A and B are shown apart, each in its own frame.
Chain A
């Protein structure tokens, strides 16, 4: 199924099924390189609107006037990821996230984005990262999707095991799962869905 269709189709049990079509979509740079690129898979063109160099659109609100919805598509680049992270955290702050909940959201976003860029897309700037966020006063729901090979969650070694404590990597998933209220990996591990309740 083409990515655009997949994103539009609400899924059973998916609290954020159609964010990409209902929220504000932002192309955080990088789409210029794809313009006119005949070798690009057509599904990318259907997802990323051509950049006009304009500032990101104002986040949209849902019908209840409470939720802030954001969507981003960007190449595998840490600087762009930090821009996305900041905009989502700003939205969370506006919706009253603070203290432990804000800290949790920040660390999970950092780890989720780095995972997608570094371990998912393996720093390949030709591969995109898609992020969607829906923030209310009660909770923040976020998806991060990469274009990598995916992974099986159960195959990731437990970094808290004694024999792994000296290893320098492999703690990002642990931190996401520790700090978020709900975490789910789907699409073969290429898409992370996570929710954090706002407990102030």
Chain B
């Protein structure tokens, strides 16, 4: 069921856009589409964008959500940007490992480590 709360919270720390998921489940098609659109807008703002996705609130996601993240990753690569994922709970991280997407995305245990990993 659609929720009126925006599915993402976006803040800025120096030159990094920090994006936090506000829903614990990234499942609903409309919800995923909205997240994808927000990420696309952030990526298209300028080339070379630095995005840090914080999964601290996320308890569940689907293959459709993974597809949305891959799409964002592809867009960022095309625009010479950088994407980091952080604070992924063990059960969710297992999904990334099963799909081998832990090889595609740059994943860090903590936000501090993720922020420190961005190239200047």
Contact = CB atoms under 8 A, between A and B. Distances in A.
B18 to A, nearest CB: 24
Interface string A69-112: 00000000011001000000000000000001001001100110
Interface string A136-178: 0000000000000000000000011000011111111011001
A82 B60 CA distance: 14
Given A166-B70, A166-B104, A159 B99 contact: yes
Interface residues of A, number: 23
A79 B1 contact: yes
A28 interface: no
Interface in B82-99: 91, 95, 98-99
Contacts of B64: 114
Interface of A: 78-79, 82, 100, 103, 106-107, 110-111, 114, 159-160, 165-172, 174-175, 178
Q: Is the interface of B mostly helix, strand, loop or mixed?
A: helix
A103 B62 CA distance: 11
Contacts of A172: 62-63
Given A107-B95, A169-B67, A171-B66, 12 more contacts: A82-B1, A100-B91, A110-B27, A110-B62, A159-B99, A160-B99, A165-B100, A166-B70, A168-B74, A171-B63, A171-B67, A175-B98
B91 A114 contact: no
26 contacts: A78-B28, A78-B29, A79-B1, A82-B1, A107-B95, A110-B27, A110-B62, A111-B63, A114-B62, A159-B99, A160-B100, A165-B100, A165-B103, A165-B104, A166-B104, A168-B71, A168-B74, A169-B63, A171-B66, A171-B67, A171-B99, A172-B63, A174-B63, A174-B99, A175-B63, A175-B95
Going nearest first, the 7 A-B pairs with the smallest beta carbon separation are A168-B67, A171-B63, A160-B100, A172-B63, A178-B98, A165-B104, A168-B70
A168 B82 CA distance: 18
Q: Interface range on chain B: under 10, 10 to 19, 20 to 34, or 35 or more? A: 20 to 34
B70 to A, nearest CB: 5
Nearest to B105: A165
B103 to A, nearest CB: 7
B101 interface: yes
Interface string B50-67: 000000000010111011
Contacts of B95: 107, 175
Could you say which of B63, B73, B99, B101 has the most chain A C-beta atoms within 10 Å of its C-beta?
Answer: B63
A174 B94 CA distance: 13
A159 B70 CA distance: 12
A165 B73 CA distance: 11
A103 B60 contact: yes
A46 to B, nearest CB: 31
Contacts of B98: 174-175, 178
Contacts of A166: 70, 73-74, 104
Interface in B1-38: 1, 27-29
A159 B101 CA distance: 10
